[in-house]
Amino acid sequence: MSRFVLVTADANFSQRAQQAVAGLHGTLQTLAADYLPPSPDDILRVLSGELAEVILLGPGLPTDDSIRLASLFDLQYPEISLVLVTAGEADVALPAMRAGIRDLLSPGATSDEIRSMLERASLAAAGRRRGLGASVEEGAPGGRIIAVMSPKGGVGKTTVTTNLAVGLGRIAPMSVVVLDLDLQFGDVASGLMLEPERTLADAVTGAAVQDSMVLKSYLTLHPSGIYALCAPLNPAHADQISGDQVGHLISQLASEFQYVVVDTAPGLGEHVLATLDQATDAVWICGMDIPSIRGLRTGFSILTELDLLPQNRHVVLNFADRKSGLTLQDVEATIGCPVDVVLPRSRAVPFSTNKGIPLLQDGSRDSAARGLGQLVDRFKPNWEQRPHKKLHRRVIV
C-alpha cells in the first residue's frame, strides 16, 4: 500500500487529494500548515505508520522554502518522491528539478489529475528504492549503461533501442534515459514520436557539461515515463562532437539514471568506441542475412583485439524467418557465440515504427513483442541468478 503525505493549509485542494487517493491502493495523511519546518526529519517525525513514498508540498507554502526542503530530502531520503504544487510552473521548473523535485502540479488540478501524478510519483519512488538497493548490493558507482550495437545499418537497431527503453521504464519508472548517438541520422525522436526542444548538441556544451541538473532539463520526457536525449537536428553538428564529450555525457547520465540505453551509429566510429569504453552491457543486433552476420563476427574480432567488449553480451537475431535459407545454428556457428533473443519477422513492427509507438508501449501480443520482452527481462535485477541457461535453444525460427 502506497503512503502519501500532503502539507498544505488549502482545505479545497486537500479534499481533492483525498478523492484522488480513494481511487488508489494507498493512504493520505494531511499536515495542515502554511509553513515548512527546517528539516525533513521534522516532517517525518510527526507521521504515523510507515515511511512516506510521496510528499506533496503546497499549495500555500513559500516556494523558496519548498525547494530548500526538497533539496534536503533528495540528499537524505532520495527514495521519497517530492511533488511541488505551485501556480508559477514556468519560473520554478529548473530550480525544482535541481532540488530533486519529481513533478510539478497546478493548485487547480482535478482529482483525476492528482491521481495520475500520484501514480507516477509512486512508481518513481519504487524504482528509486530498487535502484538504491541494487547499488548497495553490487557496489555499482552508477547506472547500467546499455549500448545497442550493430556493425551494419538497417537491422532494426533503433526499434530494439526504443522498445528496450520503454520496457525498462516499467521496471524503473522515471529512471531510464535513452541516448541517440546516431548523430547524423538518428531516429529515436521519430521512433518515440517526440519533438525535442534540446538535443545532444546542446548537452555537450555550456552549463550542462558541469551541472547534471541543467543536463536533465535538456531531456525530453516520453509518455511511458522514460527520458530521451535525441540526436542533433542538423547532421553537420555530428562533426563538432568529440568522443571525449560523448564519454563525459554518458558518465553524467549514468550518475543520474538507473539505466542509460544508447542507440549507437552503425560501425565502430569514435563515438561508438567512446560508448563501449564505459558500457556495462552491449546488445548486438544482426539480421538474418550473410552480410549482417559476417559484419557481427568481424566486429567481435576487432573489439576483442581492442579489449572493448563489455562484460555482459546480449545477441539479438532480428527479422528471423524460416524462408531465409539460414537456421539459428548457422548464425551461431558463424558469429561464434549463442543467440540470446530471436525476434521473428513481423508486420506489427514497421506499423508501430510508423506510428511512433513502440510495441512494448502499445501492449501488443505480437511474437516480436514477446521477444522484446525477453530482452528486457535480461536486465532485471538478479536476472543472472535465475535458471536461464540455453534459453535460445527453445526458440523455433
Shared domain for 306 and 384, answered yes or no, is yes
190 has a pLDDT exceeding 80: yes
Top-ranked range on mean pLDDT: pick from 21-35, 80-94, 268-282, 383-397: 268-282
Burial 25-64, CB ≥16 within 10 A → b, else e:
ebebbbbeeeebeeebeebbeeeeeeebbbbbbbbbbebe
- Round the average pLDDT of the chain to a whole number and report it: 86
Shared domain for 173 and 293, answered yes or no, is yes
pLDDT band at 284 (very low <50, low <70, confident <90, very high): very high
Shared domain for 99 and 243, answered yes or no, is no
Listed residues 116, 136, 156: the one ending a domain: 136
Mean pLDDT, to the nearest integer, of 191-220? 87
Contacts of 24 (CB under 8 A, 6+ apart): 2, 115, 118, 119, 122
Listed residues 83, 107, 136: the one ending a domain: 136
Shared domain for 211 and 302, answered yes or no, is yes
Q: What is the CATH number of the domain that holds 303?
A: 3.40.50.300
pLDDT band at 189 (very low <50, low <70, confident <90, very high): very high
Shared domain for 40 and 121, answered yes or no, is yes
Shared domain for 77 and 7, answered yes or no, is yes
CB half-sphere exposure, 223, CA atoms < 13 A: 11
pLDDT band at 94 (very low <50, low <70, confident <90, very high): confident
Q: Name the 3-class secondary structure at 396.
A: coil
3 has a pLDDT exceeding 70: yes
Shared domain for 89 and 229, answered yes or no, is no
Listed residues 136, 152, 179: the one ending a domain: 136
Mean pLDDT, to the nearest integer, of 165-169? 94
Joined grid coordinates for residue 144: 547500467
Shared domain for 359 and 300, answered yes or no, is yes
Q: Name the 3-class secondary structure at 5.
A: strand
Shared domain for 50 and 114, answered yes or no, is yes
pLDDT tens digits, one per residue of 21-79: 987 777 899 999 989 988 888 888 888 766 788 999 989 999 999 999 998 888 888 88
Q: What is the CATH number of the domain that holds 48?
A: 3.40.50.2300
pLDDT tens digits, one per residue of 329-356: 999 999 999 999 999 999 999 899 888 8
Shared domain for 170 and 306, answered yes or no, is yes
Which residue range is the domain that position 84 belongs to? 2-136
Contacts of 231 (CB under 8 A, 6+ apart): 180, 181, 182, 183, 184, 185, 186, 188, 189, 199, 200
The domain total for the chain is 2
288 has a pLDDT exceeding 60: yes
Shared domain for 220 and 359, answered yes or no, is yes
pLDDT band at 121 (very low <50, low <70, confident <90, very high): confident
Shared domain for 289 and 361, answered yes or no, is yes
